[in-house]
Amino acid sequence: MSSFKIFDIAGSGLSAQSVRLNTVASNLANADSVSGDPSTVYKARHPVFEAVKAAVAAQTLGGASGTGAADTAVRVRGIVESTAAPTERYEPGNPLANEDGNVYSPNVNVIEEMTDMISASRAYQNNVEVMNTSKELMLATLKLGS
Amino acid sequence: MPLNLDTYLGVSAQALKVQSQRMEVLADNLANVDTPNYKARDIDFKAALAQAGSPDAPLALTTTTAGQVGGTSASGDPDTSGALKYRVPLAPSLDGNTVDAQMEQAAFADNTVRYQATLTFLSSRLKNLLTAITGQ
| A49 in contact with chain B, both atoms CB, cutoff 8 A | yes
Interchain CB distance below 8 Å, A74 and B32: yes
Residue B48 DSSP SS3: helix
Distances (CA, A) of B70 to A2, A34, B4, B62, B80: 21, 70, 18, 6, 19
ipTM of the shown complex:
0.75
User: A residues 14-43 near B, CB within 8 Å?
Assistant: 16-17, 20
Give how far A77 is from chain B: nearest CA, Å.
Answer: 10
* Residue B120 confidence (pLDDT) above 90: yes
* Predicted TM-score (pTM) above 0.80: no
- How far apart, in whole angstroms, are the C-alpha atoms of residue A60 and residue A64? 8
Instruction: Identify the pLDDT of residue A95.
Output: 92
Q: How many CB atoms lie within 10 A of CB B69?
A: 6
Residues of chain A with C-beta less than 8 angstroms from the C-beta of B5: none
**Euclidean distance between CA atoms A34 and A42, whole angstroms:** 8
What per-residue confidence (pLDDT) applies to A68?
45
When scoring B28, B84, B100, B134 by the number of chain A Cβ atoms within 10 A, the one with the most, hence best to mutate, is B28
B33 to chain A: closest CA residue: A123
Instruction: Give the length of chain A.
Output: 146
Q: Give yes or no for A139 touching B (CB within 8 A).
A: no
Tell me what pLDDT residue B69 has.
54
Query: What does the pLDDT look like over B71-112, one tens digit per residue?
Result: 544 445 566 667 888 988 888 889 899 999 999 999 999 999
Which residues of chain A are within 8 Å of residue B20 when distances are taken between CB atoms? 1, 3, 6, 137
Q: Is A10 in contact with B27 (Cβ distance < 8 A)? A: yes
More confident residue, B3 or A62: B3
**Cα distances (Å, whole numbers) of residue A17 to A50, A111, A124, B65:** 12, 19, 6, 53
CB neighbours of residue B135 within 10 Å: 5
What pLDDT, on the 0 to 100 scale, is given for residue B11? 87
Scanning every residue of chain A, which has its alpha carbon at the shortest distance from the alpha carbon of B123?
A: A145
* Closest residue in B to A14 (Cα–Cα): B31
Tens of pLDDT along A113-142? 999 999 999 999 999 999 999 999 999 999
Instruction: Please state, in angstroms and rounded to a whole number, the distance separating the CA atoms of residues A28 and A114.
Output: 8
H helix intervals, chain B: 5-9, 12-31, 45-53, 101-134
**Contact by Cβ (8 Å): B10, B74:** no
Residue ranges of chain A with per-residue pLDDT less than 50: 1, 54-68
Q: Residue B6 has what pLDDT?
A: 77
Q: Across all residues in chain B, what is the average pLDDT? A: 81
Residue B66 has what pLDDT? Answer: 64
The pLDDT value given to residue B14? 87
| Contact of B83 with B47, CB cutoff 8 Å | yes
Contact B111, B22 (CB under 8 A): yes
Higher per-residue pLDDT: B4 or B130: B130
- Exposure letters B15-54 (e unless 16+ CB within 10 A, then b): bbbbbbbbbbbbbbbbbbbbbbbbbbbbbbbeebbebbee
Q: Residues of chain B whose C-beta is under 8 A from some C-beta in A?
A: 16-17, 20-21, 23-28, 30-39, 41, 43, 75-77, 80-86, 101, 105, 108, 112, 115-116, 119, 122-123, 126-127, 130
Strand A102-105 with B41-43, pairing: unpaired
